[in-house]
């Protein structure tokens, strides 16, 4: 370990930008920051959700300036939200003022629905990326059809553009590239057959490199880094065969495991993306409605998210009957439904229902989604003994207990630093995280399940699945949920 170094980790999230500068000499953080992402959104099935790329670049430069000290080498690494789509012009600037399209942008939903009736199953099996409006490949097909007279010089992700502005190189990492829908499972390069099918020239895309790739910049050495999922697994020390899965609860949520190689037959509810070098693949599910759902309901009830969690769980503990039902699709849900048109819906509302009843129903709906995901992950044949998480939502002990009870897994909650940010810091530190002493920035808290009421969660899951089926039937016919017909 070079004791004179400073390490800078930056996480480009959908709703927040986070950074930490670590002094290797003092072995202590110098500063840690968090600020809202310059994000623009409009709701609805064809939601617009973009990030101001220029404003993010300004923030990145500010972090670099703060991280520098005369005579001290600076090493920096990125973590980023996956599935961002940024068309760039010949001058290297974002083509549109609105910036980078995020995974939540639903304007390509109609294209995704059209593709589901043709090549969806084969595409997911080939790339590990389901056909959905979140997919960069699907976004490109929509963008090409909506802008027929414009040919961008480059199609990149937001992190790729930041890397270019800092280093002058168009380069992405294979963790992000494998989540675009344009890289075949088991490959480290763009799939020419897929690119031909969607009419995209390979020269428009960045080169693909390992997340550990190092580049020179005017500020110091830049380590490429990767998608937030891969970096979270790296930060939490999850590798194939360790018996631990990862639970992510942020703006969106996810349940994932690490496997050595892609499965021979990928189940339709799962994604499968590359991890950091030597750690195989990430297999799991991602849920659109976690922090975004809690923020929406909290705003409606005029309470904070922590108050919503506390009051909702307290009411749920007092009695699970006579509550309204929330169908929790504020943003078009992903697995196991993979349909952008699913919407938030209240059922069984009665005049006597009080605010705490709606908060309890919200928490029950969220926990039901996690129960369903944990059940499917178990059914995949993976051997998992525990879930690891660094979600700040789980700082609430009552929520951590309810999550452990709903999923049936013991939880290892790591506190002090976001998991993906910790992964980027570990990468900036040349993978020396295992050398960090006991006073490292994170502390663990273990939560064992005290009950696992399968009958209750199965009943809730059946109601959720039925509601999703009814909504989809109303939009696309009776076989929409199964993909048959």
- The backbone torsions φ and ψ at residue 120, rounded to the nearest 5 degrees and listed phi first, read -55, -50
Output b/e per residue, 266-296; b: 16+ Cβ within 10 A. Answer: bbebbbbbbbbbebbbbbbbbbbbbbbbbbb
Residue reference for tokens 């178990």: 378
DSSP annotation string for 58-92: HHHHHHHHHH--TT--EEEEEEE-S--BEEE-TTS
Residues 424 and 449: beta-carbon distance below 8 Å:
no
Cα(358)–Cα(328) distance, rounded to whole angstroms? Answer: 12
DSSP annotation string for 4-67: T-EEEEEEE-SSEEEEEEEETTTTEEEEEEEEE--EEEE-STT-EEEE-HHHHHHHHHHHHHHH
Residues 247 and 257: beta-carbon distance below 8 Å:
no
- Record the tokens describing residue 322, joined without a space: 């006579």
Indicate the burial class of 167 (C-beta count within 10 angstroms; 0-12, 13-18, 19 or more): middle
Query: Would you say the C-alpha torsion 131, 137, 138, 139 has a positive or negative sign?
Result: positive
What pTM value is reported for the model? 0.92
The per-residue pLDDT for 1 is 45
**How many CB atoms neighbour CB 396 within 10 A?**
16
The per-residue pLDDT for 436 is 42
Q: Is 234 helix (H, G, I), strand (E, B) or coil?
A: helix
Secondary structure string (H, E, C) spanning 165-197: HHHCCCEEEHHHHCCCCCCCCCCCCCCHHHHHH
C-alpha 27, offset from chain centre: 30
The per-residue pLDDT for 485 is 25
The per-residue pLDDT for 233 is 94
The per-residue pLDDT for 438 is 35
C-alpha 232, offset from chain centre: 10
- Record the tokens describing residue 368, joined without a space: 């039901």
Q: What is the full per-residue pLDDT of the chain (485 aa) written as tens digits?
A: 447 889 999 999 999 999 999 988 888 888 899 999 998 887 655 588 999 999 999 999 999 998 888 678 889 999 999 999 999 999 999 987 779 999 999 999 999 999 988 877 788 889 999 999 999 999 999 999 999 888 899 999 999 999 999 999 999 999 999 999 999 999 999 999 999 999 999 999 999 999 999 999 999 999 999 999 999 999 998 999 999 999 999 999 999 999 999 998 889 889 999 999 888 999 999 998 999 999 999 999 999 999 999 999 999 999 998 999 999 998 878 889 888 889 999 999 999 999 999 999 999 999 999 999 999 999 988 889 999 999 999 999 999 999 999 999 999 998 888 999 999 999 998 865 444 433 344 578 999 999 999 999 999 999 999 999 999 888 754 333 333 32
Give the CATH fold of the 6-229 domain: Nucleotidyltransferase; domain 5 (3.30.420)
Residues 134 and 111: beta-carbon distance below 8 Å:
no
The per-residue pLDDT for 468 is 92
Using CA atoms, how far residue 309 sits from 320, 327, 365, in Å, is 15, 17, 12
Give the alpha-carbon dihedral of 418, 423, 426, 428, to 10 degrees.
-100
Strand partners, 258: 282
- Record the tokens describing residue 63, joined without a space: 């972090």
- Show the CA angle centred on residue 42, arms to residues 149 and 91, nearest 5°: 35
Residues 406 and 375: beta-carbon distance below 8 Å:
no
Pairing of strands 171-173, 207-209: parallel
């Amino acid at each position: 370990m070079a004791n004179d170094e400073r390490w800078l980790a930056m996480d480009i999230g959908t709703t927040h930008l986070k950074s930490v500068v670590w002094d290797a000499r003092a072995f202590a953080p110098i500063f840690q920051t968090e600020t809202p992402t310059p994000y623009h959104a409009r709701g609805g099935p064809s939601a617009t959700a973009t990030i101001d790329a220029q404003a993010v670049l300004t923030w990145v430069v500010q972090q670099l300036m703060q991280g520098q000290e005369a005579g001290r080498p600076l090493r920096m690494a990125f973590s980023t939200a996956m599935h961002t789509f940024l068309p760039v012009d010949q001058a290297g600037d974002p083509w549109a003022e609105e910036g980078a399209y995020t995974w939540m942008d639903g304007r390509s939903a109609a294209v995704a629905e059209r593709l589901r009736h043709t090549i969806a199953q084969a595409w997911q099996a080939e790339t590990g990326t389901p056909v959905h409006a979140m997919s960069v490949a699907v976004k490109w097909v929509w963008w090409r059809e909506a802008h027929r007279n414009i040919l961008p010089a480059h199609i990149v992700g937001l992190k790729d553009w930041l890397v270019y502005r800092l280093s002058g190189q168009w380069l992405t990492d294979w963790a992000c590239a494998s989540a675009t829908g344009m890289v075949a499972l088991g490959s480290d390069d763009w799939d020419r057959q897929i690119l031909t099918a969607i009419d995209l020239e390979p020269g428009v895309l960045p080169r693909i490199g390992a997340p550990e790739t190092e580049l020179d910049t005017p500020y110091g050495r830049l380590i490429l880094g990767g998608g937030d999922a891969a970096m979270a697994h790296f930060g939490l020390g999850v590798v194939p065969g360790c018996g631990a899965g990862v639970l992510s609860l942020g703006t969106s949520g996810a349940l994932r495991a690490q496997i050595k190689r892609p499965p021979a037959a990928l189940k339709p509810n799962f994604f499968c993306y590359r991890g950091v070098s030597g750690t195989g693949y990430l297999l799991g599910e991602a849920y659109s409605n976690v922090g975004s759902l809690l923020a929406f309901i909290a705003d409606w009830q005029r309470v904070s998210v922590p108050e919503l969690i506390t009051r909702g769980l307290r009411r749920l503990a007092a009695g699970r009957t006579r509550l309204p039902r929330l169908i929790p699709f504020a943003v078009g849900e992903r697995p196991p439904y993979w349909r952008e048109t699913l919407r938030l819906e209240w059922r069984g509302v009665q005049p006597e229902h009080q605010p705490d009843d709606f908060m309890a129903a919200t928490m029950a709906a969220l926990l039901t989604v996690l129960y369903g995901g944990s059940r499917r992950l178990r059914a995949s044949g993976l051997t998992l003994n525990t879930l690891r998480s660094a979600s700040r939502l789980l700082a609430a002990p009552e929520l951590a207990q309810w999550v452990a009870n709903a999923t049936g897994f013991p939880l290892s909650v790591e506190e002090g630093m976001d998991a993906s940010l910790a992964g980027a810091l570990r990468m900036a530190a040349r993978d020396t995280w295992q050398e960090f002493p006991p006073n490292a920035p994170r502390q663990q808290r273990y939560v064992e399940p005290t009950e696992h009421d399968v009958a209750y969660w199965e009943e809730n899951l059946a109601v959720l699945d039925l509601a999703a089926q009814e909504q989809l039937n109303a939009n696309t016919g009776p076989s929409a949920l199964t993909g048959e017909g």
